[in-house]
Amino acid sequence: MIYIIENYWREFLYSDGYHVTGLAMTLWLLTISCAIGFCLAIPLAILRNSRNPLLWVPVWIYTFVLRGTPLYVQLLIIYTGLYSLDFIRDSAPLAAFFKQGIDCTILAFALNTGAYTTEIFAGAIRDTSFGEVDAGRSLGMSQATLYRRIIIPSALRRALPVYSNEVILMLHSTTLAFTATVPDLLKVANDAYSATYNPFAAYSTVALIYLCVSFTLIFTFRKAEQHFLAFLKP
């Protein structure tokens, strides 16, 4: 274990000299996919609660399909599947995008976490107490202002505990990135394992790093909950 840490600490943390690897890559994947998923989820969550079937049915199908299939299958479809289609290979920009493992990984992760986050936010929007909405309406707010000023801020606050779970699960899901040749933490651990034939040391080192990141995230979200959900304190 000492040998692996001495020889691979730089790869584990940030770089192998040519590429960003390890922890830095994992955190980047987590941040970018959660950011895209978040931006995707807010409008979709509003549409999900619409009364017009033309609006909510497509969103429901999206979340149903992405939550009903494993992320690994989604990643394989996007990374190996799409590139096997002729029209993708024939168009230069699409081919360039889908040839890159990291582009496909981020796309798959963002769509996946977007689906889960949409359902989380949609549930929180649905649970908005009618009093808040009535109060907003009685002040003459338009639908857009109502969402922007009342519903979304309150729903996001109430969704925070569930959303923090989703971010932790997403951190755990980033381990799949190595199957699309992205040099994340697990890829470095695989390299260390094949160089030393010591699976326990290689994988437990990386497990410790993930554990630290998980705890940091949990701690940060708990602080955020104390700040944003202070009004719920007894």
Partner 1 sequence: MFDLAGYGPQIFAGTITTVELSLLSLAVSFIIGLIGASAKLSKSRSAATIATIYTTIIRGVPDLVLMLLIFYSLQIWINDLTDWLNNLQDSIDFEVSLNPFASGVITLGFIYGAYFTETFRGAFMAVPKGQMEAARSFGMKPFLIFRRILFPQMMRYALPGLANNWQVILKATALVSLIGLSDVIKAAQNAGNGTFRTFYFMTIAGIVYLLLTTLSNGVIMLLERKYAVGVRRAAL
Q: Name the site residues for partner 1 (rule: CB under 8 A).
A: 65, 68-74, 76-77, 80-85, 171-176, 179, 186, 189-190, 193, 199-200, 203-204, 206-207, 210-211, 214-215
Nearer to partner 1, 141 or 191 (CB): 191
Nearer to partner 1, 137 or 172 (CB): 172
Residue 43: CB minimum distance to partner 1, A: 25
For residue 15, which phi and psi values (nearest 5 degrees)?
-160, 150
Residue 46: CB minimum distance to partner 1, A: 24
Q: Which two tokens stand for residue 20?
A: 């960003």
Residue 75: CB minimum distance to partner 1, A: 10
Which of 94, 106, 98, 61 shows the shortest CA–CA distance to 81?
98
| b/e code 187-216 from CB counts within 10 Å (16+ = b) | bbbbbbbeeeeeeebbeebbeebbeebeee
Integer angstrom CA distances of residue 159 from 105, 155, 172, 224: 26, 6, 20, 12
Nearer to partner 1, 44 or 170 (CB): 170
Give residue for tokens 């700040």.
227
HSE (CB half, 13 Å, CA atoms) of 219? 6
Amino acid identity of residue 175, one-letter, is T
Nearer to partner 1, 222 or 227 (CB): 222
Nearer to partner 1, 100 or 175 (CB): 175
Residue 158: CB minimum distance to partner 1, A: 19
Residue 221: CB minimum distance to partner 1, A: 14
Q: Which two tokens stand for residue 5?
A: 């840490």
